[in-house]
């Protein structure tokens, strides 16, 4: 079932944009609706349709919800062997369908599952993959997908095309693309697929799921984020950051510097190698504004920066900048919030 890379293909056989839907324990992951939103934007003005392919078992009700995001068709690959994620099982089942139906573009979330399955799918299908894209566009001159991603440590953005192979495949950073709008009526249909999958096709199996015990935070959907950087001077500095976040009903974010110092868990990291966020308000406390940090938060509606250095680059992107010591500014802000 493998197709060789560079094997001659007829480009006109390929049409439509596919989103590889992601589910965890039967619940659709938000990256799926983000990719649907982006796919709908890319098909505008073309004859292409937006399709989702999702694998799992007994998740019909959840799968049908996808139709309310303006999807033309959902291919639901249903099998008890796909109940939990396995690289072998999922990539075999999805690659078979891609080879049969020939989508022109395939979008995968750059989540832990997407980063695992994306390259394996590309290898099975015999095409290329641009990983970790932050922007997608169609070139009006030839209809090719322009796939933009950070390169050289985030210091420049590279736009990459897939000149001869199809489908054109990209993994896309979660939190970057706008979610598709939920509509009152469903337009498309669900087509159920039974894969030709056997137990022995799955080499590594999930035996048991053990929760990490850590309280999960949801930076992607947070409306307010208060983030601490190296300027907080130590792990105890996060007490002040958390106090302000709690007062505002927000989440705690961090720069990578604090994560690397072991002051806070990586799940709080905002930026190129952390989470991409777009809250209504982002408060950067003691964060210099390195390009890799800005890559993850510059789409926030309002950015407030607190920094002792008036030349800090964060002041170039913020809406409100406070030059001052965060140990004085944050308590003063909390006092003002109490007065509201
Ligand atoms: P610093 O740059 O040290 O800035 C600390 C700031 O605190 C300074 O501006 C200082 O003036 C201010 N300050 C000091 N004391 C006070 C005080 N009392 N009150 C107020 N302000 C004060 N970084 C990320 O954040 N996220 C990423 O995802 C990420 N990915 C990366 C990926 C790659 C490939 C590379 C090479 C780097 C990445 N980085 C990332 C690291 C990034 O380049 C910076 O090193 C990092 O963001 C710096 O963190 P910082 O702003 O907290 O620290």
ipTM of the predicted structure?
Answer: 0.99
On the question of a cis peptide bond just before residue 281, with omega within 30 degrees of 0, the verdict is: no
320-323 and 302-307 strand pairing:
parallel
- Give residue 130's pLDDT: 97
Q: Which of 227, 272, 296 to mutate to test the pocket of ligand 1 (most atoms within 8 A of CB)?
A: 272
Q: Percentage of residues in the chain with pLDDT exceeding 90?
A: 84
Q: How many Å lie between the centroid of ligand 1 and the Cα of residue 295?
A: 13
pLDDT tens-digit map of 218-261 = 898 899 999 999 999 999 999 999 999 999 999 999 999 999 99
Determine if ligand 1 sits within 6 Å of the CB of residue 326: yes
- The tens digit of pLDDT for each residue in 70-82 reads 999 999 999 999 9
* CB 228 near ligand 1, within 6 Å: no
Of residues 334, 340, 339, 280, the one with CA closest to residue 306: 334
User: Residue 211 — pLDDT band, cuts 50, 70, 90?
Assistant: confident
How far apart CA 114 and CA 13 sit, in angstroms, is 26
Residue nearest to atom 35 of ligand 1 (CA): 153
Q: What is the DSSP string of 144-195?
A: PEEEEEEETTTTEEEEE---S-SSEEEEE-TTTSPPPPP-SS--SEEEEE--
In whole angstroms, what is the distance from residue 299 CA to residue 257 CA?
Answer: 21
Measuring CA to CA, which residue among 125, 114, 124 is closest to residue 170? Answer: 114
59 has pLDDT over 90: yes
Q: Which DSSP category does 301 fall into?
A: S
Contacts of 185 (CB under 8 A, 6+ apart): 68
The band of 302, judged by pLDDT with boundaries at 50, 70 and 90, is very high
In tens, the pLDDT along 86-117 reads 999 999 999 999 999 999 999 999 999 999 99
Is the Cβ atom of 287 under 6 angstroms away from ligand 1? yes
Instruction: List Cβ neighbours of 308 (8 Å cut-off, separation of 6 or more).
Output: 231, 323, 324, 325
- How many CA within 13 A on the CB side of residue 137? 9
Confidence of residue 206 (pLDDT cuts 50, 70, 90): confident
Please name the residue whose Cα sits nearest to atom 53 of ligand 1.
230
Residue owning the nearest CA to atom 34 of ligand 1: 153
């Amino acid at each position: 079932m493998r197709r060789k890379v560079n094997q001659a293909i007829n480009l006109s056989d390929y049409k439509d944009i596919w989103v590889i839907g992601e589910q965890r324990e039967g619940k659709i992951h938000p990256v799926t609706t983000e990719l649907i939103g982006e796919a709908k934007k890319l098909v505008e003005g073309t004859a292409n349709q937006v399709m989702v392919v999702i694998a799992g078992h007994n998740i019909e009700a959840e799968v049908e919800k996808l139709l309310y995001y303006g999807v033309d068709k959902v291919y639901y690959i249903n099998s008890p062997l796909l109940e939990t994620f396995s690289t072998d099982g999922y990539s075999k089942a999805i690659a078979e369908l891609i080879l049969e139906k020939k989508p022109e573009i395939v979008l995968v979330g750059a989540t832990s599952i997407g980063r695992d399955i994306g390259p394996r799918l590309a290898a099975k299908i015999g095409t290329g993959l641009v990983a970790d894209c932050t922007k997608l566009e169609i070139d009006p001159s030839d209809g090719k997908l322009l796939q933009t991603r950070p390169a050289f440590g985030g210091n420049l953005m590279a736009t990459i095309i897939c000149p001869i192979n199809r489908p054109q495949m990209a993994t896309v950073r979660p939190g970057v693309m706008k979610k598709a709008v939920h509509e009152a009526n469903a337009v498309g249909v669900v087509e159920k697929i039974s894969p030709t999958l056997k137990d022995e096709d799955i080499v590594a199996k999930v035996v048991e799921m053990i929760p990490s015990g850590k309280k999960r935070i949801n930076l992607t959907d947070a409306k307010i984020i208060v983030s601490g950087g190296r300027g907080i001077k130590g792990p105890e500095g996060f007490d002040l950051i958390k106090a302000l976040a709690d007062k505002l009903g927000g989440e705690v974010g961090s720069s990578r510097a604090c994560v690397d110092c072991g002051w806070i868990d990586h799940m709080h990291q905002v930026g190129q190698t952390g989470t991409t966020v777009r809250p209504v308000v982002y408060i950067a406390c003691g964060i210099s504004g390195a390009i890799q940090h800005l890559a993850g938060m510059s789409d926030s509606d309002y950015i407030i920066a607190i920094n002792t250095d008036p030349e800090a680059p964060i002041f170039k992107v913020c809406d409100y900048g406070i030059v001052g010591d965060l140990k004085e500014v944050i308590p003063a802000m909390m006092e003002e919030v109490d007065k509201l």
